[in-house]
Structure 1
């Protein structure tokens, strides 16, 4: 068994979590303020728009999001009721499609997302931004 984190390691871990949470919270708030979409709404709409060009098989969407089928199904039901998506097909193979309102919401949300990411993360780079981003890319792979 390894030892617990040192005080400095714990400080860095907590700083990392707070920074990630702060950026995420700011991005979600900006999207919500601009469009009224929740983070799950945004995730679904952008995946369908970007990965499927406006339509995507429900199972592929679940795989892309890493969500359980029941969670995705409930989310899609709410979005369908609000006119953001439509579903067609059979119980074994649903196709999720953006409605015109859903496509418009995705476009507006992507713009709000981009502005928020730039304001909270990309402009807040350390002195050696290249080294910072190399580290982030290593951690994400």
Structure 2
């Protein structure tokens, strides 16, 4: 499939999109880490497990994060060592369960996450453009297109 190279305007759009996503996510993650000690990966895992009712199948957790199973396994090993989660062998797989320590730190991190998202993303988008911006991002994220 032959295609023409990106124009300067298209390249600028691509770079602005990547840079904005990297900076905003990085700053939010840094704020969570500074306030709670959780990495971005830790936060994603503990909040998903809490939201799922205290435990999740490891393969479902990997799918929800868009991660390969080996990446999740390595991350969970570190989190088990820090007593944030525990793994339980169950029929046909592994169940990942939040610990009391993991639940506590997830509860501490949620308001930090909310404040950072509001400050670093939501409040920087004009109020009258937020719905349209959200729809645009959802269109970009739609895997069926």
TM superposition shift of 1:131 = 2.8
> Is 1:69 the equivalent of 2:69?
yes
> Is 1:106 the equivalent of 2:145?
no
Alignment of 1:36-47 (within 5 A): 36-47=37-48
TM superposition shift of 1:66 = 2.1
Which whole-Å CA distance do the structure 2 matches of 1:127 and 1:32 have between them? Answer: 28
Aligned Cα root-mean-square deviation (Å): 1.7
1:96-136 per-position Cα deviation (integer Å, ceiling 9, x unaligned): 11111100111112211111111111001147413323222
Runs of 4+ in 1 over 4 A off after TM superposition: none
Alignment of 1:92-103 (within 5 A): 92-103=92-103
Equivalent residue number for residue 4 of structure 2? 3
Which whole-Å CA distance do the structure 1 matches of 2:117 and 2:30 have between them? Answer: 11
CA contact (8 A) 1:88 1:95 kept: yes
Equivalent residue number for residue 59 of structure 2? 59
Equivalent residue number for residue 119 of structure 1? 119
Which whole-Å CA distance do the structure 2 matches of 1:101 and 1:136 have between them? Answer: 34
Where does the alignment leave 5 or more consecutive residues of structure 2 unmatched? Answer: none
